């Protein structure tokens, strides 16, 4: 059986560490780090994520500023809100919960967030810094994956890493981070012919597509490290109950992989934790530390 890579416990540990650090900072600086979350509309999944983020802030002593807008909000209103948050001294991190309703231009809004307050690490300047290998705010989900690898001493240097999925949120930045750690990186995606032939080469296999059971046991090299970034809500036909699954056929892959992240309890909790960490680091940088 594969070693279980417990993102939930690791996330808790990092959050506990932040929680013990923050009071000293508050005492000295007179204010806690602050994260603003912009949400538009009432997509129930988004609402649940936003609640999780706000609760996580509260638990560790960070301030959260929730900005909830109706589904028919205009681009101008959101643009104005971001401009205000960019100026707000209490706010160290700004996040626009994605996806936005179709009439809105999400990229324009991401461009508008001040790069030093870009808690999600999705601003083109921060993505460009990653591409160049410069310091900058790193996107949360891929940063969370790298933290898991580091925490479990799973070295990337010299390994063959295959990233399935090429999104700007996960696949592309994660491939760059693995490359920066000296992995030999292959990016695969929906147009890759014979995906299994590619994934079977992987010492480190990352699935970030959003398709349940995309990665079956025959696609995994025995002993490989398998990182499942998928978050898919599926409904059990018989019970009618929903549950969360990743992109990997966990029940079978767990028998051949060397190590594997579960869903839930793997990468997801690390994403939220990296968001908090990015906000805390922006706060520290702003104070010149």
Ligand X SMILES: Nc1nc(=O)c2c([nH]1)NC[C@@H]1CN(c3ccc(C(=O)N[C@@H](CCC(=O)O)C(=O)O)cc3)C=[N+]21
Binding stretches for ligand X (CB under 6 A): 48-49, 52, 95-98, 120, 140, 231, 244, 263-265, 268-269, 271-272
Which residue in the list 6, 67, 92, 97 is annotated as catalytic?
A: 97
Q: Is the peptide bond before 171 cis (omega within 30 degrees of 0)?
A: no
- Please report how close the Cβ of residue 116 comes to ligand X at its closest, in angstroms: 17
106 is catalytic: no
- Please report how close the Cβ of residue 195 comes to ligand X at its closest, in angstroms: 23
Eight-state DSSP code of residue 235: E
256 Cβ neighbours under 8 A, 6+ residues apart: 2, 217, 220, 222, 223, 224
Which residue in the list 6, 92, 118, 120 is annotated as catalytic?
A: 120
- Shorter beta-carbon distance to ligand X: residue 178 or 263: 263
120 is catalytic: yes
- Shorter beta-carbon distance to ligand X: residue 52 or 184: 52
- Please report how close the Cβ of residue 237 comes to ligand X at its closest, in angstroms: 20
Give CA angle at 130 (170, 111), nearest 5°.
Answer: 75
Question: The tokens of 157 are what?
Answer: 């240097």
Which residue in the list 6, 53, 159, 172 is annotated as catalytic?
A: 53
Residue nearest to ligand X (CB): 268
- Shorter beta-carbon distance to ligand X: residue 174 or 195: 174
- Please report how close the Cβ of residue 163 comes to ligand X at its closest, in angstroms: 17
126 CA to centre of own chain: 15
Give CA angle at 138 (58, 246), nearest 5°.
Answer: 75
By C-alpha distance, which of 246, 274, 229, 227 is closest to 4? 227
Question: The tokens of 36 are what?
Answer: 């603003």
- Shorter beta-carbon distance to ligand X: residue 45 or 287: 45
Annotated binding site: 165-167, 231
Annotated binding site for NADP(+): 165-167, 231
By C-alpha distance, which of 137, 154, 121 is closest to 7? 154
- Cite the active site residues: 53, 97, 120
């Amino acid at each position: 059986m594969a070693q279980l890579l417990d993102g939930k416990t690791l996330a808790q540990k990092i959050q506990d560490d932040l929680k013990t650090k923050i009071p000293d900072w508050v005492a000295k600086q007179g204010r806690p780090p602050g994260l603003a979350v912009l949400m538009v509309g009432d997509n129930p999944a988004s609402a649940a994520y936003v609640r999780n983020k706000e609760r996580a802030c509260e638990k560790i002593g960070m301030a959260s500023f929730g900005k909830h807008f109706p589904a028919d909000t205009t681009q101008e209103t959101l643009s104005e809100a971001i401009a205000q948050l960019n100026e707000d001294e209490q706010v160290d991190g700004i996040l626009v919960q994605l996806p936005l309703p179709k009439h809105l231009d999400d990229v324009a809004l991401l461009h508008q967030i001040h790069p030093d307050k870009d808690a999600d690490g999705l601003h083109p300047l921060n993505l460009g810094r990653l591409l160049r290998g410069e310091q900058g705010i790193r996107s949360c989900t891929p940063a969370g994956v790298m933290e898991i690898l580091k925490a479990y001493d799973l070295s990337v240097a010299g390994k063959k890493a295959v990233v399935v999925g090429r999104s700007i949120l996960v696949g592309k930045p994660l491939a760059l981070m693995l490359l920066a750690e000296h992995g030999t990186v292959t990016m695969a995606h929906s147009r890759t012919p014979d995906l299994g032939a590619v994934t079977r080469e992987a010492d480190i296999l990352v699935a970030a597509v959003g398709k349940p059971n995309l990665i079956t046991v025959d696609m995994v090299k025995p002993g490989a490290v398998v990182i499942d970034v998928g978050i898919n809500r599926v409904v059990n036909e018989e019970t009618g109950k929903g549950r969360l699954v990743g992109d990997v056929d966990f029940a079978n892959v767990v028998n051949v992989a060397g190590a594997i992240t579960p869903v839930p309890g793997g990468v997801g909790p690390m994403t939220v934790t990296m968001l908090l960490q990015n906000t805390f680091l922006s706060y520290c940088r702003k104070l010149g530390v």
